[in-house]
């Protein structure tokens, strides 16, 4: 499998990265953290103007008609920026499921930014961004339903920019889709965002190591610092193709897509955890403090790792696949 980006994918990713760098840096995160909603109407409108909510919608629905692979590339950039807007759940997780179920009007509304869909699944004891959502895609008994979003009891989150509510009673219309599809898509995009967060934390560690002076030289010249940062870089680059492989499997409905998703969630979240720990060590004791921007990405990584199946859940799925009937070996891997 060729994991190199095409020219069009490269242009798309660089465009989104440049825009996010300009409007969603650490100063924006701190400003959002001081608002009750943690959201910005200007940033939400900017995402719509770039066409990102309609990335996976068809041309007929006012979208760009791209694939899960391109959406994962954008989610990685969102993770790098610590994007607070709940676009990914609505546009990259819910939209394709609703499109496959024939909900064309709602798909068009999501693509235009008029509708926002919150996600509810029994694997999570919370619902993210229910406040502000117009619809709720809810899983119950292996089935999915879609209905109007209703208010839920507010819960605290480790991530200051994430808004959580207690689960609510689903009262929508049943759709022809499985709850597993929601779980797998959401876990895949959690992995992509975690990978982006790992990229961001490594970059912050390297930048600090190249500027912090000790014994008359930058601490980045010390071998121990170099080795720690190199180890994180290797973990990230080992996780990246795993995430892209899972995106390809989900896009093409491969029989083992769920296992690829679990592998991606494990690899990306492990890399993000390690990146956060190393970045904090490089910064010294102040790496734990609110004054250092690093904490926004570290807390996001913790939240992503705990949502849509924790480490034990995804390890169990991989173990059962390997010890069960899943075909493994070169003939299966590179077929």
Dump pLDDT digits (tens) for 45-100.
999 999 999 999 999 999 999 999 999 999 999 999 999 999 999 999 999 999 99
Tokens, residue 116: 């926002």
Tokens, residue 165: 């509510």
pLDDT in tens, 193-230: 999 999 999 999 999 999 999 999 999 999 999 999 99
For residue 292, give the DSSP letter: S
pLDDT grade for 326, boundaries at 50, 70 and 90: confident
Pairing of strands 117-120, 135-140: parallel
pLDDT grade for 328, boundaries at 50, 70 and 90: confident
Whether the predicted pLDDT of 335 surpasses 60:
no
Burial class (CB in 10 A: 0-12, 13-18, 19+), 165: buried
pLDDT at 334: 59
Give the CA radius of gyration of the chain: 20
pLDDT grade for 324, boundaries at 50, 70 and 90: confident
Whether the predicted pLDDT of 19 surpasses 80:
yes
pLDDT grade for 333, boundaries at 50, 70 and 90: low
Q: How many helices (H) and strands (E) does the chain have?
A: 13, 9
pTM (two decimals): 0.95
Assign domain 182-323 one CATH number from 1.20.140.10, 2.60.40.10, 1.10.1740.10, 3.30.230.10.
Answer: 1.20.140.10
Domain residue extents for the chain: 182-323
pLDDT in tens, 178-192: 999 999 999 999 999
Picking from 120, 74, 67, 139, the residue whose alpha carbon sits closest to that of residue 96 is 67
Determine the Cα–Cα distance for residues 115 and 229; give it in Å rounded to an integer. Answer: 41
pLDDT at 70: 98
Determine the Cα–Cα distance for residues 304 and 269; give it in Å rounded to an integer. Answer: 7
């Amino acid at each position: 499998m060729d994991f190199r980006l095409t020219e069009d994918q490269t242009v798309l990713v660089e465009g989104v990265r440049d825009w996010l760098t300009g409007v969603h840096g650490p100063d924006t995160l701190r400003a959002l953290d001081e608002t009750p909603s943690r959201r910005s109407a200007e940033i939400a409108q900017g995402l719509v103007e770039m066409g990102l909510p309609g990335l996976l919608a068809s041309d007929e629905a006012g979208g760009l008609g791209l694939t899960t692979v391109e959406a994962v590339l954008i989610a990685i950039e969102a993770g790098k920026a610590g994007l607070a807007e709940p676009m990914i759940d609505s546009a990259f997780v819910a939209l394709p499921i609703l499109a496959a179920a024939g909900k064309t009007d709602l798909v068009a509304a999501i693509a235009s930014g008029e509708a926002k869909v919150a996600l509810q699944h029994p694997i999570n004891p919370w619902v993210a961004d229910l406040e502000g959502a117009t619809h709720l895609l809810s899983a119950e008994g292996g089935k999915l339903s879609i209905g109007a979003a209703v208010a839920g009891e507010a819960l605290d989150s480790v991530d200051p920019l994430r808004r959580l509510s207690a689960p609510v009673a689903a009262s929508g219309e049943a759709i022809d889709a499985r709850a597993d599809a929601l779980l797998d898509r959401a876990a895949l995009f959690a992995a992509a965002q975690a990978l982006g967060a790992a990229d961001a934390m490594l970059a912050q560690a390297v930048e600090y190591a190249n500027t912090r002076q000790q014994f008359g030289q930058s601490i980045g010249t010390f071998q121990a610092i170099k080795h720690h940062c190199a180890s994180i870089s290797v973990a990230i680059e080992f996780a990246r193709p795993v995430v892209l492989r899972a995106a390809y499997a989900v896009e093409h409905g491969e029989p083992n897509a769920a296992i690829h998703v679990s592998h991606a969630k494990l690899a990306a979240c492990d890399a993000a955890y390690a990146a956060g720990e190393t970045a904090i060590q490089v910064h010294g004791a102040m790496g734990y403090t609110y004054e250092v921007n690093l904490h926004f990405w570290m807390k996001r990584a913790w939240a992503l790792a705990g949502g849509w199946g924790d480490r034990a859940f995804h390890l169990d799925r991989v173990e059962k696949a390997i010890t069960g009937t899943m075909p493994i070996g070169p003939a299966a891997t590179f077929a």
